[in-house]
Amino acid sequence: MSADTARTASNSFTATRLPRLIELYTALGALAVSGIVIALIGWTTTGFLVLAAALYLMLTGVVSGVVENRRKAVDRLVRGLVTVAFLLALAPLVSTLYEVIVRGWQALDWNFIFTTGGTIIDPATMKITNTIGAWQAVIGTLEITGMATLISVPIGILTAVFLVEYSPPGHWMSRTVTFLVDVMTGIPSIVAGLFAFALFTLVVGPKAFSGFSASIALCVLMIPTVVRSSEEMLKLVSPELREASYALGVTKFTTIVRIVLRTAIAGLITGVMLAIARVIGETAPIFIAASFTNNFNGDLFSGAMQTLPVMAYTGYKFPSSDIPASLQSAWGAALLLVILVVILNLIARLIAWAFKPKGLQ
C-alpha cells in the first residue's frame, strides 16, 4: 500500500471505530488511576478530580488517535473538554444544593413553616424561650417579591414591545432605552437598596422601613432582566405571522396582543421567572430597605418585614442565645427558599402551557 493510500484510509469516514462505550471506560480508568496516585501522595478531592479530568482528556485523545484517525480524535477531545466544562459548572450547584438539603432538612417541618418565630417571656418564671418559625419570613418574601413582580413585569414587557414593535431600527429613543437597560443590568443590588431607602426617607421620613420600599429596590433589579429577555422572545416571533394578521385587516394593537404575545408567551413567562429568581434571594437591598424582624408583619406599607434570605443571613450573623437553634433556622430558611423557587417555576410552567397557542402544545 502506498503512502497516499494509507493516508486516505486513515482519514476515511469508514475507518476503524472504538467501542461505543469507550468514553465511559476511559473515564472509569482515569478515575481509578487518579485515585491511586492521589492516595499515594496525599488525598485531596480537588486534586483527585483535576488529575482524573486531565487523564481522561489525554487518554481519550491518544486512544482515538491511534485506533481511529486525527479528525475523530479531535472530535472526541473537544467533546471531552465540553463534558469536563459542564461538570465543573455543575459541581458548585450540586454541592450547594446538597449542603442546603442536608443541613436544612432537620429544621424543615410544619411547625417551622407555619409558626412565627420570636422570643416568649413567661411572666411567672421570667423564663425566656426562643421559638423557631419562618411564617413571617414566608409571608414577607411572597408579598415583597409579588409586589415587585406586579410593578416590574408590565413595565418590562411594554418596554420590550416598544423596542420590537413600535420603535424604528436605530432610532435614538430605542438606542437610549437599550443603553439605560444595559446600565441597569450592571447595578449592584446594594445600590438598589440604598436608592429605595433614600427615596422613602425623603418622602416618608427617617427610618422608613417597609416591604414596599424593598419591592421598589427589587424592581430596579427586575426590570432590565424582564426587558432584555422579553425583547429577545418577541424578536423570535416570525414576521410572517404579523404580516398575515395585517393582511386580514387586524390592527397593530390586536396583532400584538392576540398573535405576537400569545406566540411568545412561553418565553415571556420564562423571562419573568428568571427575573423573579434573580431577586427572590436578594439579601442586601431588602436588609437595607425593609430591615428585619422576628414579629409577624403582613402590612407591606408600614414597618419592618422579614424575608427568607434575610432570615438566613441574620440567623448566621446575629444568632440568639441559642446558637444551634439559630443556625438550624438559617439553614431551614435557605431550604424553604429553594423549595419556594421550585414551586413558583412549576406554576409558571403550567401557566405557560395553559396559555400557549393550541398548535404549539
Compute the distance between CA of residue 124 and CA of residue 78 in angstroms, rounded to an integer.
73
pLDDT at 230 (0 to 100): 92
Domains recognised in the chain with CATH numbers: 3-104 (no CATH), 117-360 (1.10.3720.10)
pLDDT at 124 (0 to 100): 63
Parts of the chain with a pLDDT under 70 = 1-15, 118-131, 321, 357-361
C-alpha cell at 154: 408590565
pLDDT at 92 (0 to 100): 84
Compute the distance between CA of residue 3 and CA of residue 200 in angstroms, rounded to an integer.
81
pLDDT at 12 (0 to 100): 44
Q: What angle do CA 340, 346, 351 make, to 5 degrees?
A: 125
pLDDT at 156 (0 to 100): 93
Compute the distance between CA of residue 144 and CA of residue 149 in angstroms, rounded to an integer.
9
How far apart, in Å, are the Cα atoms of 30 and each of 20, 51, 53, 171, 283? 17, 8, 7, 57, 42
Q: pLDDT by residue (tens digit) across 14-44? A: 457 777 777 788 888 888 888 888 888 877 7
C-alpha cell at 300: 407591606
| Residue recorded with cell 408590565 | 154
pLDDT at 128 (0 to 100): 58
Q: How many CB atoms lie within 10 A of CB 146?
A: 14
